[in-house]
């Protein structure tokens, strides 16, 4: 079965927050943030929601593919920052774009979410259950960030990316993946939801924000992601020389450099956009893919490795020939 990416789209909030502006919010400098993370600015919502950004990106992916929303069979939104616990973002997107025949649900695997959602679509396609899907990664992380914590607020951005994919049984198999979770290390990157608040148990409600152990995450990402890409390539029987680009989760530039060194692959094979969008969790891979296709870096016929890693801890990689 051939997984065909026929259209991509992305949506970013209109407002940009630069490192220079952050200097007046927390004790930091543009130089420090650039040197440690490669990030110069990020888009931050002043009203855009996960649902509105996801809808915008989905419409663009469908337009790029020349497909009608009415024919879409499956919508999965990967997100860890929805506005509403109920209904899910995917159902809001379904209503907004008019995909009345689609089944729609959300998936939360943090920064691996888009990749896991794509793997889910591939698995449905392989079983013959569905033959097309819109897969979206969308986040408004700025509302779950502690803007007094300089260790985290410098890293994240808001945005959404989407792909329209179809199964083609006439063409050879072009997709392989590996995916993992390690819940025993989960508490190194957390964000609380709501406190227990019922007639039998009341406690003072507290605002909850993203908390992380930056060094642990750094080491996990560099070690585990390179090992999982090596494992994937062996499983798929693809040599590194045949990989055109590694489209990785954009956590920060130093993690990507570390992975390229471990894989002994030239950094030029790792497109990045973290400099102007920051870390957008599940939106990072589809937004980078969309940008790389639009600017002519990624083209039909090329072989890509996609890799996501983040809270959970979750991680995985897939190889696809476009």
Sites of contact with ligand ACO (CB under 6 A): 28, 32-33, 36-37, 111, 150-151, 154-155, 189, 212, 214-215, 217-218, 221, 251-252, 279, 309-310
User: For residues 38 and 278, what is the distance between their CA atoms, to the nearest angstrom?
Assistant: 8
Pairing mode of beta strands 175-181, 314-321: antiparallel
Cβ proximity to ligand ACO: between 119 and 279 the closer is 279
- Helix ranges (H only) for the chain are 19-22, 30-37, 50-65, 89-97, 113-127, 150-153, 214-236, 253-263, 274-277, 284-294
For tokens 């680009």, name the residue. Answer: 245
Smallest distance, ligand ACO to C-beta of residue 273, A: 14
Cβ proximity to ligand ACO: between 155 and 317 the closer is 155
User: For residues 134 and 27, what is the distance between their CA atoms, to the nearest angstrom?
Assistant: 41
Smallest distance, ligand ACO to C-beta of residue 35, A: 9
Cβ proximity to ligand ACO: between 27 and 203 the closer is 27
User: For residues 24 and 27, what is the distance between their CA atoms, to the nearest angstrom?
Assistant: 7
Smallest distance, ligand ACO to C-beta of residue 130, A: 29
Cβ proximity to ligand ACO: between 88 and 145 the closer is 145
Task: List Cα–Cα distances, 124 to 1, 8, 16, 90, 128, in angstroms.
Answer: 11, 20, 38, 17, 6
Which residue, judged by CB position, is nearest to ligand ACO in the bound state?
214
CA proximity to 94, closest of 78, 114, 117, 77: 77
Smallest distance, ligand ACO to C-beta of residue 41, A: 14
Could you write out the DSSP letters of every residue in 188-238?
GEEE--PPPEETTEE-------EEE-HHHHHHHHHHHHHHHHHHHHHHHT-
| Residues taking part in catalysis | 111, 249, 279
Cβ proximity to ligand ACO: between 78 and 189 the closer is 189
Smallest distance, ligand ACO to C-beta of residue 23, A: 9
């Amino acid at each position: 079965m051939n997984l065909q990416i026929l259209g991509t789209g992305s949506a970013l909030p209109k407002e940009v927050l630069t490192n220079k502006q952050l200097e007046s919010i927390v004790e930091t400098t543009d130089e420090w943030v650039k040197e440690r993370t490669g990030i110069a600015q990020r888009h931050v919502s002043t009203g855009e929601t996960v649902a509105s950004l996801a809808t915008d990106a989905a419409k663009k992916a469908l337009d790029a593919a020349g497909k009608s929303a009415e024919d879409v069979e499956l919508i999965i939104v990967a997100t860890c920052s929805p506005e509403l616990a109920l209904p899910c973002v995917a159902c809001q997107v379904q209503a907004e774009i008019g995909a009345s025949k689609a089944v729609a649900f959300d998936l939360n695997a943090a920064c691996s979410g888009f990749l896991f959602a794509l793997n889910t679509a591939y698995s449905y396609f392989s079983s013959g259950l569905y033959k097309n899907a819109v897969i979206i990664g969308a986040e408004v992380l700025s509302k779950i960030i502690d803007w007094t914590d300089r260790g985290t607020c410098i890293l994240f951005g808001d945005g959404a990316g989407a792909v329209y994919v179809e199964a083609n049984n006439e063409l050879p198999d072009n997709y392989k993946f590996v995916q993992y979770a390690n819940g025993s290390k989960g508490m190194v990157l957390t964000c609380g939801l709501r406190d227990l608040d019922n007639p039998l148990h009341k406690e003072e409600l507290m605002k909850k924000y993203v908390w992380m152990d930056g060094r642990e995450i750094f080491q996990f990402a560099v070690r585990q992601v390179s090992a999982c890409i090596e494992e994937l390539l062996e499983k798929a029987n693809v040599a590194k020389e045949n990989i055109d680009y590694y489209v990785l989760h954009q956590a920060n530039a130093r993690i990507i450099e570390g992975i390229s060194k471990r894989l002994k692959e030239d950094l030029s094979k790792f497109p990045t956009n973290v400099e102007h969008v920051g870390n957008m969790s599940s939106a990072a891979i589809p937004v980078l893919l969309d940008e790389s296709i639009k600017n002519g870096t990624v083209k039909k016929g090329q072989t890509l490795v996609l890799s996501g890693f983040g809270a959970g801890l979750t991680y995985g990689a897939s190889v696809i020939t476009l």
